[in-house]
Structure 1
Amino acid sequence: MTAPQLGLGDFFALARRLGASRVEIRNDIADNAILDGTSAATVRQLASEHGVTIISINALQQFNQWSDSRSHEAEALADYAAACGARALVLVADNSGQSMDGGTRIENASVSLTHLAPILRDRGIVGLVECLGFETCTLRSKREAVQAIDNAHGRDVFRLTHDTFHHHLAGEPDLFPELTGLIHISGVDDPAVAVRDMRDSHRVLVGPKDRLDNIGQIAALRAAGYGGPLSFEPFAEELRHLADPAFAVRQSMNFISEGLKAQAA
């Protein structure tokens, strides 16, 4: 989502220009890989040519609403991830607004993760569970996700995605750094939008006007032992049309790096 206007090869080249040797790719960008039918072998070859490692494919949607069709989708995505060299598959919770109690939320996620575990284990892929902070999400709490992982006996194959946007929206204090496998980062600059009204369209690259305390969240996770990757996940339409995405991304990377240094000082 950082530069969806670029083809995959150009995106990998951009990452290397920015000094990033690990990247995340998506399966929901129209007219681009993976949605355009690009083969897993082609993705693997492009990654090798540009010297990048694919962190994960983002994502299996509605993972916590298990069905035969979800099972087939999970197997196909896990096969693709293994074949293209991706290390993980992001598992995004259902955001359909169904009303359910905590026990039902945990049970649904537990059932899904129990089914997903052997699919991922057989292919050597990690599942990155992502809760969404929207009030309409059926799994907002990472604490509930951790309970579901344990119910599925899945600590060997599942990790959490800590999304700074969704963590802020959910208002959950718990971080679970020991179970975190990926951090998604984006900022919200709009001073007028209320937290409960924040949506993907508000998500921009992290900068000085950020309201989500990305620096604080990242610093806290690192201080608690997290040493994994950070992946930009902005969705604002304005980012789709940047003439020079490298400049904008480098500015955000520098801002975050300097902010973390200041926190550590």
Structure 2
Amino acid sequence: MPPLTFALNHMTAPALTLDAFFALAVSLGMTAVEIRNDLDGNAILDGTTPAEVTALAERHSVTIISINALQRFNEWTPARATEASELIDFASACGARALVLVPKNDGTGQADGERQANLREALAALKPLLDAAGIIGLVEPLGFEICSLRSKREAVEAIKAVGGERTFRLVHDTFHHHLAGEPELFADHTGLVHISGVEDPAVAISDMRDGHRVLVGPSDRLGNTTQIKALLAAGYAGPLSFEPFSPAVHDVADPRAAVAESVAFLLESL
């Protein structure tokens, strides 16, 4: 088994400033981080410049593996094109390696034929923008029943259809993989793995939402360790990035201890 590489998504401790978040990652022995554009009062929404992000990353010796995310990417409009260009420019300027691409998740665009065409249109439009900047597009299917892109197979087929194998990779999110119920892993197309667990014994799979997502531990219902073992066995050698959304995680007094406990559990289990 290849050595495990853990990464930290800013959603793990969204109240921390970027400086403090990078310091948290380093304190855990992690050098790979994901920054976000959806945290109020924090980079990127607070006007932090790419140069400031670069300086902080260099000060802490961390690598920004992604910006998370271009939302509703498969609803391609002039406004989306502008948003994509701005995020890609920011990613390039701050040294980020990739941009996460999240599909629309509101019950629209799900019809067979329509969703595949929308996906191919967006990928074809994004490809030259990403290529020019040297940025990877990380396509993240979501397992929610109302999502317009649930299937990794459909994502891979669309990537191939636009000749985007060198431009696009998949995000395997252990939460969304469990919800989608799609058995195939596509490890050779995967560029990033997001990890989080669900421990609430009362919530049905179809009712699981981001707010249920905690750090991975022994009471996890999503089969994180099984998923990760299978990905590693299939050749995935990239980072495992912590992305819990639960307020129960965000409100912990000592996020370092909480994440370290999850790391220890995963190392022991894997």
- Coarse TM-score class (shorter-chain normalised): over 0.9
Which of 252, 256, 260 is residue 262 of structure 2 equivalent to?
252
**Cα displacement (A) at 1:172:** 0.3
Q: Does 1:158 align with 2:158?
A: no
**Structure 2 matches for 1:124-143, cutoff 5 A?**
124-143=134-153
Q: Which residue of 1 aligns with 2:27?
A: 17
The amino acid across from 1:259 in the alignment is: S
Residue correspondence of structure 1 range 233-244 to structure 2 within 5 A: 233-244=243-254
Cα separation, 2, equivalents of 1:201 and 1:23: 21
How far apart are the structure 2 equivalents of 1:237 and 1:156? 37
| 2:184 match: secondary structure | coil
Provide, for residues 85-144 of structure 1, a one-character-per-residue CA deviation record: whole Å limited to 9, x for no partner.
100000001101115333221111000000000000000000000011000000100001
The aligned residue for residue 81 of structure 1 is 91
After superposition, where does 1:155-234 map in structure 2 within 5 Å? Answer: 155-234=165-244
Partner of 1:64: 74
Given that residues 138 and 169 in structure 2 are in contact (C-alpha distance below 8 angstroms), is that contact kept between their aligned partners in structure 1? yes
3-state SS of 2:12 partner: coil
Deviation at 1:152, TM superposition (A): 1.2
Q: How many residues align?
A: 260
Supply the distance in 2 between the matched residues of 1:246 and 1:106 (Cα, whole angstroms). 41
Corresponding residue for residue 158 of structure 2: 148
Q: How many angstroms apart in 2 are the aligned matches of 1:26 and 1:93?
A: 16
What is the CA-CA distance between 1:239 and the residue it aligns to? 1.7
On the 8 A contact 2:110/2:147 being kept in 1, the answer is no
Please say if residues 159 and 180 of structure 1, whose CA atoms lie closer than 8 Å, have aligned partners that are also in contact: yes
Residues 106 and 147 in structure 1, CA contact (< 8 A), matched pair in contact too: no
SS of the aligned residue for 1:110 comes to helix
C-alpha contact (below 8 Å) 1:185/1:231 kept by paired residues: yes
| Partner SS for 1:230 | strand
Root-mean-square deviation (CA), in Å?
A: 0.7
Q: Contact (CA 8 Å) 2:109, 2:115: kept in 1 or not?
A: no
Q: Which residue of 1 aligns with 2:6?
A: none
Task: Write the letter of the residue equivalent to 1:133.
Answer: G
Gaps of 5+ in 2: 1-10
Q: Partner residue of 2:5?
A: none
| Structure 1, gaps ≥5 residues long | 261-265
Where 1:66 maps in the other structure, the secondary structure is coil
- Distance in structure 1 (CA, Å) of the matches to 2:160 and 2:15: 39
Alpha-carbon distance between aligned partners in 1 of 2:31 and 2:156, rounded to the nearest angstrom = 29
Q: Select 1:100's aligned residue among 104, 110, 131.
A: 110
User: Could you tell me whether the CA contact under 8 Å between 2:143 and 2:177 is conserved in 1?
Assistant: yes
- State the one-letter code of the partner of 1:163: D
Inter-partner Cα distance in structure 2 for 1:100 and 1:88: 26
The CA distance in 1 between the partners of 2:192 and 2:19, in whole Å, is 23
Q: Secondary structure in 2 aligned to 1:204?
A: coil
AA aligned to 1:220 is A
Partner of 2:36: 26
Select the structure with the greater relative contact order (CA < 8 A; seq sep ≥ 6): 2
Supply the AA of the counterpart residue of 2:268: E
Alignment of 1:114 with 2:124, yes or no, is yes
State the 1:151 CA deviation: 1.3
